[in-house]
A and B are shown apart, each in its own frame.
Chain A
Amino acid sequence: MHIAEGFLPPAHAIGWTIAAAPFVVHGARAVVKEVRENPESTLLLGAAGAFTFVLSAIKLPSITGSSSHPTGTGLGAVLFRPPVMALLGTVVLLFQALLLAHGGLTTLGANAFSMAVVGPWAGYAAYRLVRRSGGGLLPGVFAAMAVADLATYVTTALQLAWAHPDAASGFAGAAAKFLSVFAFTQVPLAIGEGLLGVLLFRVLVVSARPELERLGVLRRTPEPDQAPVPEPTPGAER
Chain B
Amino acid sequence: MRRHLVTALLVLAVIALFATPLLLDGASEYAGTDSQATALIEESDAGYEPWFESVFSPGSSEIESGLFALQAALGGGVLGYVLGRLKGRRTAEQTAGKALTPPTTP
Contact = CB atoms under 8 A, between A and B. Distances in A.
A185 B33 contact: yes
B71 A182 contact: no
A89 to B, nearest CB: 13
A78 interface: no
Given A195-B14, A199-B10, A160 B54 contact: no
A46 B76 CA distance: 11
Contacts of B25: 65
Contacts of B101: 227
Interface in B48-65: 48, 50-58, 64
Interface residues of A, number: 72
Contacts of B79: 47, 50-51, 54
B71 A66 contact: no
Interface residues of B, number: 61
Contact of B86 (A95, A195, A204): A204
A100 B44 CA distance: 26
A180 B78 CA distance: 35
A174 B54 contact: no
Nearest to A44: B82
User: What is the interface of chain B mostly: helix, strand, loop, or mixed?
Assistant: helix
A217 interface: no
Contact of A47 (B21, B83, B89, B97): B83
B51 to A, nearest CB: 5
B64 A67 contact: no
B33 A182 contact: yes
Nearest to B49: A6
A193 B34 CA distance: 19
Q: Which 8 interchain pairs have the tightest Cβ spacing?
A: A53-B75, A6-B50, A54-B75, A50-B78, A207-B86, A6-B52, A101-B54, A57-B71
Given A5-B50, A191-B17, A207-B90, 19 more contacts: A1-B34, A7-B48, A9-B48, A43-B86, A44-B82, A50-B75, A50-B76, A51-B79, A53-B78, A66-B33, A67-B33, A99-B56, A99-B58, A100-B68, A100-B71, A181-B33, A188-B18, A208-B86, A229-B97
